Amino acid sequence: MRIIPAIDILGGKCVRLTKGDYSTQKIYNDDPLEVAKEFEANGIQYLHVVDLDGARSKHIVNHKVLRDITSKTSLKTDFGGGIKSDEDVRIAFENGAMQITGGSVAVQQPGTFRQWLDRYGAEKIILGADSNNRKIATHGWIRQSELDVADFISGYAKKGIVYVICTDIQKDGMLQGTSNELYREIIEKTGVKLVASGGVSSIDDLIALKQLGCDGVITGKAIYEGKISLHELREFIDG
C-alpha cells in the first residue's frame, strides 16, 4: 500500500482544513517545498498536492508551487484542485504532475472527464470521489449531489477508471479514524485501485487500510499534528 502524504496549498502556504472548511485553515509551513523535501528525506516516494486556491477559483492557481516540488524532489506527485479544463490539465502535466485528480468535473462534465481518460490513459487520470454521508460533494465540497459514492465510482470503473481517491468529508481533518466499511464496500463492488483519504489518526489506521486492500492512503493532519511520525511511516513503508 502506498503512503501518500498531503500538501494542501492556500496562499502559497502549506495548510490543513477541517472538513474542507476554509475558515478552519491552519498554516503548518510557509514553504511547501520544504515540507516535500522533508518527506522525501524520510523515504516517502509519493505526494498528494491539493490547490485549495484553485478549487475555490475553478482553475489552477498554484502551478508554480507544483513545479517547485516536482523539479526539486523525486516525489511522484498527483495534483488536484481547480482542474476544470483541458488547459488546466495541460498546465498540471507540464509542471510535473504524474497524475491529476478530477472531482467536480467528473460530476458536472462527464464527457470532458472521459475525454481526458481517453487522451491521457487510466494511469494518469484519478477520479476524485468526495462524499458526505455517501453523497458525492462538489465545488470544493460546498455543494452536495444526490449521487451515491459507490454507484458513482462503479459507473466510472465501467468506463475505464482505475485509480480513485475517496474522501469521507465527515472524517477529513478530524483525526478520528477512517471509513473502513465504506472502503471495503467500494473495493468489493468496483475493483478499482482505491486511495483512502480522511480521518487517519495513527499507524493502526494504516494497518487496517492495508488489510482492506487499499492501493494507497493519503494522510496529512496526522503527520502535521504529530499523531504519526515520519520515522513511524518509514518503518511502515520498509516493513
- The conformational region for residue 152 under phi > 0 = left, psi -120 to 50 = alpha, else beta, is alpha
Q: What is the mean pLDDT of residues 164-192?
A: 89
| pLDDT range class, residue 172, cuts 50, 70, 90 | low
Residue 128 and residue 138: Cα distance in Å, rounded?
10
In the predicted model, what is the mean pLDDT of residues 78-98?
A: 96
In 10 A of CB 179, how many CB atoms? 22
Q: What residue numbers bound the domain in which 86 lies?
A: 2-238
Q: Across the chain, what does the average pLDDT equal?
A: 93
- Specify burial of residue 85 (Cβ count, 10 A radius: 0-12, 13-18, 19+): middle
- Separation of alpha carbons 107 and 102, rounded Å: 9
Whether the predicted pLDDT of 96 surpasses 90:
yes
Q: What percent of the chain has pLDDT over 70?
A: 96
For residue 142, what pLDDT is reported? 62
CATH number (domain holding residue 109): 3.20.20.70
CB–CB of 164/130 below 8 Å?
no
State how many domains the chain has: 1
Q: How far apart are CA 232 and CA 24, in angstroms?
A: 27
Confidence of residue 177 (pLDDT cuts 50, 70, 90): confident
Query: In the predicted model, is pLDDT for residue 19 greater than 90?
Result: no
Strands (E), 1-80: 2-10, 13-18, 21-29, 46-51, 76-80
pTM of this prediction?
A: 0.93
More confident residue, 49 or 167: 49
Catalytic residues: 8, 130
Q: What is the pLDDT of residues 52-78, one digit of tens each?
A: 999 888 899 999 999 999 999 999 999
